Structure 1
Amino acid sequence: MQPIRVMIVEDDPMVMEINAEFVSKLPGFELAGKAYNGKEAMLLIKELHPDLVLLDYFLPDTNGLSLLQDIRTKNYPMDVILLTANRDPEHIQDIFRAGVVDYIVKPFRFDRFQTALEQYRHTFKKFNENRPLEQADLDAISGIQRHPSEALFEELLPKGLNDRTMQQILQFLEGQAVPLSSEEVAVGTGLARVTVRRYLEYLEKKGDIAIEVQYGSVGRPMNKYRF
Structure 2
Amino acid sequence: MTTIRILIAEDDRQIAEIQRRFVEKLEDVELCGIAHSLEDARDLIEVMAPDLILLDIYFPDGSGLELLRELRARDSSSDVILITAAKEVESLRSALRGGVFDYILKPLVFERLEEAVSRYRDHLRHLSGLVRIAQKEVDVLLPRSSGEPSHTKQPERLPKGIDSITLDKIREVVSSGQQWSAEEVGNAMGASRTTARRYLEFLVGMGELTAEVTYGSVGRPERRYHI
Return the TM-score normalized by structure 1. Answer: 0.60
Counterpart Cα distance in 2 of 1:145 and 1:132:
25
Runs of 4+ residues deviating >6 angstroms: none
CA 1:67/1:24 → structure 2, altered by over 3 Å: closer, same or farther? same
Counterpart Cα distance in 1 of 2:133 and 2:107:
35
TM-superposed CA distance for 1:60, in Å, is 1.2
Q: Is 1:139 paired with 2:140?
A: yes
Gaps of 5+ in 2: 144-160, 166-227
TM-superposed CA distance for 1:74, in Å, is 2.0
Which residue number in structure 2 is paired with residue 28 of structure 1?
28
SS in 1 for 2:5: strand
Gaps of 5+ in 1: 148-227
RMSD: 2.0
Q: How many pairs were matched up?
A: 147
- Quick check: 1:57–1:84 contact (8 Å CA) kept in 2? yes
> What is the one-letter code of the residue matched to 1:126?
H
What do residues 142-182 of structure 1 show as CA deviations (whole Å, max 9, x unaligned)? 326699xxxxxxxxxxxxxxxxxxxxxxxxxxxxxxxxxxx
* Structure with greater Cα Rg: 1
> What is the one-letter code of the residue matched to 1:50?
P
Counterpart Cα distance in 2 of 1:65 and 1:140:
23
SS in 2 for 1:50: coil
Which residue number in structure 2 is paired with residue 85 of structure 1?
85
Which residue number in structure 2 is paired with residue 123 of structure 1?
123
> What is the one-letter code of the residue matched to 1:43?
D
Q: Is 1:47 paired with 2:54?
A: no
TM-superposed CA distance for 1:131, in Å, is 3.0
Q: Is 1:12 paired with 2:23?
A: no
Question: Which of 1 and 2 has higher RCO (CA within 8 Å, sep 6+)?
Answer: 2
Counterpart Cα distance in 2 of 1:25 and 1:138:
32
TM-superposed CA distance for 1:108, in Å, is 2.7
> What is the one-letter code of the residue matched to 1:54?
L
